[in-house]
Amino acid sequence: MKINYSAMTDHLGSSAVRDILKITQGKEIISLAGGLPGEELFPVEAVRDAYNRALAGSASALQYGLTEGYTPLREAVAGRLTDQGIPVQAAEMILTTGSQQAIDLLCKVLLDPGDAVLVEAPTYLAALQVLGSYRADIHRVDSDEDGMLPEHLEEQLRTHRPKLLYTVPTFNNPSGASWSRERREQTVELCRRYNVLILEDNPYGEIRFDETPGAYPPPMAAIDRSSGGESCVVYTGTFSKIVAPALRTGWIVGPAGLIGMIAKAKQAADLHSSAIDQRALHELLMSFDIESHIRLISREYYSRMKLLSAEITSRGLMGAHFQEPRGGMFLWLTLSGGINTTDLLPFAVEQGVAFVPGEVFYSSQPMKNTMRLNFTHTPPELLPQAVERLEKALIAYNAHLEASLARTLN
């Protein structure tokens, strides 16, 4: 039977990261491609105990639950957010199936085909997929290492009259970059003036490499709420990076009316997120020192990032440059001008290393000489070998380029 797909599927695309993970499976490849946390750091024992306690409590742990989420977990998340400078009432937050679902549901209730949305360049690939699926008209805002450039942001706000600005301002996926306080304030101020919602996606904000108090600016949601006036920042976060992604539990915070609308959309999508996972997470938060755990993983990820950074610097990788991230899970590498990292990838896989070519993270005008490297999943002892393989791939790729050039000249 011929299946007539909806027009939406033309805009779905497929996640390049998932495609790369597929080709690397079962091979002797060191993959710096996936955005995966380090498995050896998962608190397996504590999670097992938490599930046991959730199930021991009562059979209702296996019953349908509330669309908004398991109330004690909602309250615990609201408490953590309040401690982080984002005071939240329960009615202003719901739990979602990962923050990925939060992005999807917000776009579902907000966007009609053709509505303009502003994003960073580069930005999170799966957010671009969601925006594409709702047929948003996506526009990029130019950034430097401190965040979006206010002049360009204002020009894009005036020209396109967007409904939404999507951003990962803290330890961005893929660039690792983190916005300054001033840019956060300017962005909130401008979006308020133009009546545009901001979706601040913050899955990495707690993975900080500098433990000095006050070393980082607050989330935009905190700036928004402390500055009076009507709130324009919707905020999403997740347990995926600070506990484990398999628990598929995230949250979204925003004005009560919007959260109510998202709850209706969630009913239609999946009734509610896994009740047993939420109960287990709540048990975990009650008995396990999550703050110490976050410090432990952050220290380990910092040392892996330093190792990767030192290896790249010592090998040079033909003039590659990067800024060391101050947190998160990714290092963004810019290679010399003529290199196309999508074409480089097969050479890298041949040498036994994988990365994500930078171009997939752009809504338009991609920088093709960039790549995203994850430093949290690969065991640290393999990182030097990964960079050595990358260097070999670059040499083979360059030899190939020179040979094709010689052929065209002959």
* Residues that bind ligand PMP in the complex, under the rule CB under 6 A: 35, 98-100, 124, 168, 173, 201, 203, 238, 240, 245, 250
Least Cβ distance, residue 84 to ligand PMP (angstroms) = 17
- Report the nearest approach of ligand PMP to the CB of residue 175 (Å): 11
Instruction: In angstroms, give the least distance from the CB of 15 to ligand PMP.
Output: 10
- In the complex with ligand PMP, the residue whose CB is nearer, 217 or 245, is 245
Spatial separation of the C-alpha atoms in residues 147 and 167, rounded to whole Å: 10
Q: What would the two tokens of residue 103 be?
A: 């992005």
Q: Please state the closest distance from residue 350 (CB atom) to ligand PMP, in A.
A: 27
Using CA atoms, how far residue 223 sits from 96, 187, 249, 303, in Å, is 24, 10, 25, 31
Query: Which of residues 67 and 100 has its CB atom nearest to ligand PMP in the complex?
Result: 100
- Distance set, CA 146 to CA 93, 172, 179, 185, 233 (Å): 29, 12, 5, 12, 19
Helix 290-315 with 383-409: angle, nearest 10 deg: 40
263 or 393, CB closer to ligand PMP? 263
Question: Using CA atoms, how far apart are residues 283 and 397, in angstroms rounded to an integer?
Answer: 51
Alpha helices in 68-124 (DSSP H): 71-83, 98-110
CB-closest chain residue to ligand PMP: 98
As a residue count, the chain comes to: 410
Q: Give Cβ neighbours of residue 74 (< 8 Å, ≥ 6 apart).
A: 68, 90, 93, 94, 95, 251
Q: Tokens 């600016």 correspond to what residue? A: 217
Judged by DSSP in three states, 234 sits in strand
Least distance CB 318 / ligand PMP (angstroms): 28
Minimum CB separation of residue 281 from ligand PMP in Å reads: 13
Instruction: Return the structure tokens found at 320.
Output: 């590659």
